[in-house]
Amino acid sequence: MPGAFGPPADLPLVRWLALLGGVLVQLVVGGVYSWSLFGRALQSQGAMGLTAVQASIPFEVAIGMIFVGASIGGRLQDRSSPRLVAMVGSAVYAAGLILSSFARDAGDLWLLVLGYGLIGGFGLGMAYIVPVALLQKWFPDRRALVTGIAVGGFGFGATLTSPVAEALIARAPAAPASSFLWIGVGYLVLGVLGSAMMSTPPAQEAAEATPSNDLDVRQALRTPHWFLLTGILAVAVAAGISLVSMMAVAAVDVGGIDAASVATVVGVLALFNGAGRIAWASAAQRVGQLPVLAAILLLEGVALIALPHATGWTFLALAAVVYLCYGGAFGTLPSTAGAFFGMRHAGAIYGLMLVGWSLAGVLGPLAASSMVGEAGNYALAFSVMGALAVAGVALPLATRRLPLPTVRSVKVREMVEAS
């Protein structure tokens, strides 16, 4: 009887090790979503005394650098060893955090921006893209589900990091950045271990020698599909990260949650982020990716619009919906790109699509925080970002009306444009 990923006889142990290693790497780099805890601690007058804007800069730079690392890592892993690319990415990510641990006062903000932001964000992107592309090649009959499971690890990363970070910060409240030393060392060990489990499927060599209809990067960029899918990612991220980036503060200011419980709230909501990546990917495997993406954007938008008018458990329930949908976009889009463009250049093509994540990850929190302002106008911020997500439903609907792109159709278009 076929298993969840196809016939058991066709699943060598190395395939399962690749999946386990991919999840472990994603758990490590997913710790970036615990930043709100560090941001809150860094604003303490007894610590670095940063402003809210200053405390957001390292996180925003890290998210902005993901695209750079993913686009380079995606091309490298398509051409060389996914294991080596993941190891280098994990090591660079960990090194960035360790460098950040030496920041002690407001004058050391540049260390956080350089270490956590530029270096850490680049390594994060490089490590992130490897399992997203590689595992689809190991499980071609369950691409949506397996990528959902892999990036589900990214969503769960903050759940594991949050209690550790809170304990380390409590030990040295005057130097919260020092916590990055031990977290970075832990990430290095786990990231290298997970990377060592990943390898290229043996069949991939034969597939690369056989002509196929897979589009290369240049051809994918010539289609409207690539821009529409990137737009879906950008809208889903901008809406969701407007809450994720300020969750620790919004939970207190809007939801009326006790400040002492914020770390627990952030950790629990990260579970929904991870669960959404698996649950929505599983749904996409059954009913198709584009209808699922439309549902994700609609639910995310409605929940955000209602969020500033809720408190207590209602606030947390709506926030959980936003986290589920935010994670769901990441769980569903990699296999969507694979379905449209093929798997031969999956790492490079999806790596470039992550420009939507980086742009929205920087602009979304900036726009939301500016709308909140000193007056604490969360209603304006979340309503605008929610309306953006609802309007974004038009993108998957438009994509669904287009025929699948092929190498032939791209070449025909190029000939027409050249004539």
* pLDDT tens string 80-109: 788 999 999 999 999 999 999 998 888 889
Does the pLDDT at position 325 exceed 50? yes
Which pLDDT value is given to residue 338?
A: 85
Tens-digit pLDDT profile for residues 29-72 = 988 878 878 887 888 888 888 887 788 889 889 988 998 999 89
pTM (2 decimals)?
0.81
Which pLDDT value is given to residue 203?
A: 59
Interatomic CA distance for residues 151 and 275, integer angstroms: 10
Q: Pick from 268, 234, 252: which is nearest to 385 by CA? A: 234
Backbone angles phi, psi at 308, to 5 degrees: -70, -5
Tens-digit pLDDT profile for residues 327-350 = 999 989 988 988 888 878 878 888
Percent of the chain with pLDDT over 70: 92
Interatomic CA distance for residues 74 and 89, integer angstroms: 11
- Name all domains of the chain by residue range, CATH numbers in brackets: 17-199+213-409 (1.20.1250.20)
User: What confidence tier does 375 reach under pLDDT thresholds 50, 70, 90?
Assistant: confident
Which range, 114-123, 150-159, 213-222, has the best average confidence (pLDDT)? 114-123
Tens-digit pLDDT profile for residues 124-147 = 999 999 988 888 888 887 878 888
